Structure 1
Amino acid sequence: MLHWGDQTAPKVHFSGMGGTGMVSVARLALEAGWEVRGSDNPLYPPTSEMVEALGVPLAAGYSAVNLDWGPDVVVIGNALSRGNPEVEAVLNSGLHYMSFPEFLKDTVLRRRKPISICGTHGKTTTTAITSFLLDKAGLKPGFLIGGQPLDFTHASRLGQEDGPFVVEGDEYDTAFFDKRAKFFHYLPHIAVVTSLEFDHADIYEDLEAIEKAFRLMLRQIPETGHLILCSDDPGALALKEHAPCTVHTYGISENADWVAEPGTIVNGIQSFTVKHHDSIMGTVMLPMAGKHNMQNAMAALIVGTLHGIPFDTLVTALSSFKGIKRRMEIFHQAQGITFVDDFAHHPTAIRETIAAARSMWPDQRLTVLFEPRSNTTATNTFQSELAESMAGADRVVVGPIHRPERYTDDTRLDRNLLAADIENKGTKVTVADSADAIVKFIRASASDGDVILILSNGAFDGIYEKIRAVFD
């Protein structure tokens, strides 16, 4: 039972409960014995299903009335800002309010040993693998994963006090009243940095601003703690000189402390041999394709060894890892066509995901359906890099920009220029203005054996349901 002041059953209201992080933290509060309620605008699957599974009262829409039940604390989601009726009611009444990272820190992490998984790419997968390995070894970790892991019923779990807690260390800002990165709240005993590149142009002015945030995050690690860095990524490796603790490096490059030597990939299972300071630790059979997933698994393996788990035990467990929804997930197969969903929305992640798909289906035509949705891909920040990242596909369909009115003409992604640049690299491109148009194009042009890879960090205007309806 967690305590709030002198109460043993405190009350918390989540304003904006439908956010992925918010619903996961709400589940932790429920598990700890809090009385939980929330509010949000109308929600749709899968978020609506995650909130419904909590079994708590959810008010439709925002109103000061939603707070009349007298919560001890209000957790305000990152999507809310001044002008929201509940935000204004909280400020006017003097109710105690927090962001979800702050709530997580004060009510959960201070009583546990946090493992913060940070980086531009691979956070969700590495968090899920690490949680899975610690769980299989009997450590009963707590965790908060930024996606739906297939090996656990839910994306969060409280775990035991004084035990490990694996948390996805997001560098995005915390709340309208706290513009620091979320990972500043996570008090890591162990921190992993998978990669460090420019991202979130709506939050960070340039790469130096992100690098500074990561350097400052390292100051939270105790001298008895550990920092785990990917040596294949120059940005991540550059943090080594700023570490106040023991550093462990990993990667494919020979200069790493922990080296992965790639083997083969058969039926979606890739093998690699792990060396630690030239000593062979063993061969891993990872049921995930892609160099990036090999690197993610390496980070998780190091965390496992730091917890005293025998390497052979970790390798055996890893071979049964099921993965995460929306990470190279085959979500539909029909008429000889394989439909794959992935969350990639940065040029590096897109390139690596396409390469992973190529390794899984080397002899099949690969069509990429791309939604410019995030601030990274809907703007022209990575105009040329996006073209480079998609050149590995046979065909690319560039979908409509999500909420294009958010951007000015001089900052918005130029879809026609993107298409021309990709075609100059030898890949066929179609520009479509709706999900319906994309599905119609695929219906007319796809054939037996094709692989259709969807890249989006959102709903893509319901394209998944439209595909299932057309390809039954």
Structure 2
Amino acid sequence: MGALAGLFKAAGHEVTGSDVAFHPPMGPALEQWGIRLMTGFDPAHLDPRPDLVVIGNVCRPSNPEARAAIDGGIKTTSMAHALADHLLRGRSPLVVAGTHGKTTTSTMCAWLLDQGGREPGFLIGGLPKNFEASFRLPQGPAGRGLPLAPGQGGGLRGTPFVVEGDEYDTAFFEKTPKFWHYRPEVAVITSIEHDHIDIYPDEASYLAAFRGFVERVPERGLLIAAANDARVVEVVNSAARAEVAWFALEGDDTHGMPPHWLAAPAGADASGQAFDLYAGGVFAGRAALQVPGLHNVRNALAAIAAAAQGYGVPLTTVVPALARFEGVRRRQDLLFEIGGVRVYDDFAHHPTAVDETLRGLRTRHQGGRLWAVFEPRSATACRALHQEAYERAFGAADRVVLAPLGRSEIPAEERLDRERIVAAIRGGGKDADAASSVEEIVGMIAVDARPGDTVALLSNGAFGGIYDKLRAALTARGAAAREVP
């Protein structure tokens, strides 16, 4: 919603936004983009009367501002339809979907297309480090409403518009997945693993959402899919009408699907991850990534396929551009280093994402202890759906600290059992604790973290302001140490 507001502002509209709070990094970014921010939900925010009200999927039917807009006859729509109807028409949508890796892969796609001269538009849920904002209007000919010559920008496709395709529901008045509405000409599926249990009560309903997405990629389109993921293979093979380009890492079980795009990891260190790239079985050069982890090699393969096969960007342009990709804020994002203790912020909350993130950080920092400090906050993370998976997800960490559950309304019998996770980790010979508060966590780190340690703060929310609190505590510790004679 924040990025969409920025897009409408860039298109010349006056834009206001209402929310309960405006946390960083998005809150300050919205102010910088010229969005007028209004705290809380109030019918008075609709004066003067707007031309259009975009209602986010977090809003419920009782939301006073949304209710006043609907009952007052103001034109209303959802985020998905606002994007599709006002910004995607006349463009070539490249929609990145999947349980994991959407934000990073979308950003990589936008970057490679940009460096390849395709001048894409994009709408991304995070804040890319290679761009000034998480959105941009298309800059190419089709973006200005002019015809695009055949063969330019990938055959007959127009100027690309990259969209991070979220499977969450559209709005309280339209219970369909958001990514069904984006009309992809090129689509990516990075992974499928049951998530958003508040929307999809079982795996079958979750798979059905992705099946509907695949069905919406037209015959003339291109679908780029992860061959290592059995659920992706099942969904794509049952529903695809478009050409399919499979991608995988060397050694993956590809479930009978021959990958056109293959990566052979070639070593990793503090500077990043290298891999050898193969296209159609032919060696296409050695590529390098600043962002660590094999999961990011998979993300890179998908983005390479989208840029090269989808829009005709030469691999001689793609490979060097990939090495200049800096990542996304809140994805293995180094916040600060104080007293030799490195503190990272990451959005990981699903157990698979937690595991991949920690493995990536362990590859980057092989010395010192790796702390995993995890806040279960999402509707899925706070439930026992992935109880056993969480017990295995922290294997790369040396020290694990679990914050209190971020949702109190979940029935006791459905809640994630933090103590059981702690017991399982301790049973494997590693240190683990279930903390009672953010302040207790900060105290643990301030007392026990040593120079050379890496602390990963894992949360898809504000984590109770732990970032500033930990910075202050480590700074105070360093000052106190300097005062000791």
Q: Aligned letter for 2:413? A: D
Deviation at 1:27, TM superposition (A): 1.2
Q: CA deviation at 1:358?
A: 1.5
The 5 A counterparts of 1:243-282 are 243-252=240-249, 253=252, 255-282=258-285
Asked if 1:113 is matched to 2:92, the reply is: yes
The answer to whether structure 1 residue 430 and structure 2 residue 452 are counterparts is no
> In the alignment, which residue of structure 2 is the partner of 1:225?
221
Q: Distance in 2 between matches of 1:427 and 1:61?
A: 44
Amino acid at match of 1:201: I
Greater CA drift, 154-163 or 341-350: 154-163
Q: Could you list the per-position Cα deviations for residues 124-182 of structure 1 after superposition, in whole angstroms to 9, with x for gaps in the alignment?
A: 00000000011111111000111010011100111142410000000111111122111
Letter paired with 1:370: F
Q: Quote how far apart the aligned CAs of 1:261 are.
A: 0.5
Q: Which residue of 2 aligns with 1:364?
A: 368
Partner of 1:29 in structure 2? 8
Q: 1:463 aligns with which of 458, 466, 469?
A: 466
Q: Show the counterpart of 2:416.
A: 413
| Contact map agreement 1:264 1:271 (CA 8 A) in 2 | yes
The equivalent residue for 1:127 is 106
SS at match of 1:35: coil
1:333 aligns with 2:337: yes
- Whole-Å separation in 1 of the counterparts to 2:369 and 2:68: 55
Q: Structure 1 CA distance, aligned partners of 2:344 and 2:203?
A: 31
The match for 1:15 is none
* Counterpart check, 1:183 vs 2:179: yes
1:71 shift after superposition: 1.4
User: 2:19: which partner in 1?
Assistant: 40
Give distance in 1, aligned partners of 2:23 and 2:346.
19
Are 2:268 and 1:289 equivalent residues in the alignment? Answer: no
Q: 1:46 to 1:278 in 2, by over 3 A?
A: closer
Specify the alignment match of 1:449 in structure 2. 452
- Shift of residue 202, structure 1, vs aligned partner: 0.6
* Alpha-carbon distance, 1:443 to partner: 1.1
Contact 1:26 1:36 in 2 (8 A): yes
**Which residue of structure 2 lines up, in the alignment, with residue 79 of structure 1?**
58
Q: After the TM superposition, which of the residue ranges 140-149 and 424-433 deviates more from structure 2? A: 424-433
1:69-122 superposed Cα distances (whole Å, 9 cap, x missing partner): 121211112221122221221222222100111100000112210000000000
Name the SS of the counterpart of 2:24 in structure 1: coil
Which residue in the other structure is 1:3 paired with? none
Match of 2:314 among 304, 310, 323: 310
**Pair 1:193-2:189 in alignment:** yes
2:325 aligned residue: 321
- After TM superposition, the structure 1 stretch with the greater mean CA deviation from structure 2, 419-428 or 98-107, is 419-428
* 1:238-279 deviations in Å (ceiling 9; x for gaps): 233221010000011374221100101132321111112221
Q: Is the 8 A contact 2:337 2:343 kept in 1?
A: yes
Cα RMSD of the aligned pairs, angstroms, is 1.3
For residues 357-396 of structure 1, the aligned pairs below 5 Å read 357-396=361-400
Secondary structure (helix, strand or coil) at the match of 2:234 reads helix
**1:400 aligns to 2:404 (yes or no):** yes
Name the stretch that deviates more: 158-167 or 121-130: 158-167
Per the alignment, in what secondary structure is the counterpart of residue 377 of structure 1?
Answer: coil
**1:384–1:421 CA contact under 8 A, matched in 2:** no
Name structure 1 gaps, 5 residues minimum.
Answer: 1-21
TM value normalised by structure 2: 0.90
SS in 2 for 1:262: strand
* C-alpha distance in structure 2 between counterparts of 1:293 and 1:68, whole Å: 46
Deviation at 1:387, TM superposition (A): 0.6
Which residue of 1 is the match for residue 35 of structure 2? 56
- Paired residue for 1:9? none
Q: CA deviation at 1:448?
A: 1.2
Q: How many residues of Structure 1 are paired with residues of Structure 2 in the alignment?
A: 450
**AA partner of residue 234 (structure 1):** A
How far residue 428 of structure 1 moved from its aligned partner, in angstroms, is 1.2
Q: How far 1:217 sits from its partner (Å)? A: 1.1
Alignment of 1:90 with 2:87, yes or no, is no
Gap regions ≥5 residues in structure 2? 144-157, 476-485
Matches of 1:112 and 1:120, distance apart in 2: 25
Question: Judging changes above 3 Å, is the alpha-carbon distance between structure 1 residues 361 and 59 closer, same or farther for their aligned structure 2 residues?
Answer: closer
Which amino acid is the alignment partner of residue 333 of structure 1?
E
CA contact (8 A) 2:224 2:246 kept: yes
Distance 1:266 1:339 in 2: 18
CA distance in 2: counterparts of 1:110 and 1:357, whole angstroms = 40
Tell me the distance in 2 between the aligned counterparts of 1:230 and 1:423: 34
- State TM-score, norm by structure 1: 0.93
| Residues 202 and 262 (structure 1), Cα distance of their counterparts in 2 relative to 1, 3 Å cut | same
Which string of whole-angstrom CA distances, capped at 9 and with x for unpartnered residues, describes residues 27-83 of structure 1?
111111222223233423323212211323333322222213121211112221122
Could you say what secondary structure the match of 2:381 adopts? helix
Query: 1:222 Cα deviation (Å)?
Result: 1.5
Given that 1:142 and 1:159 are in contact with CA atoms closer than 8 Å, whether structure 2 keeps it comes out as yes
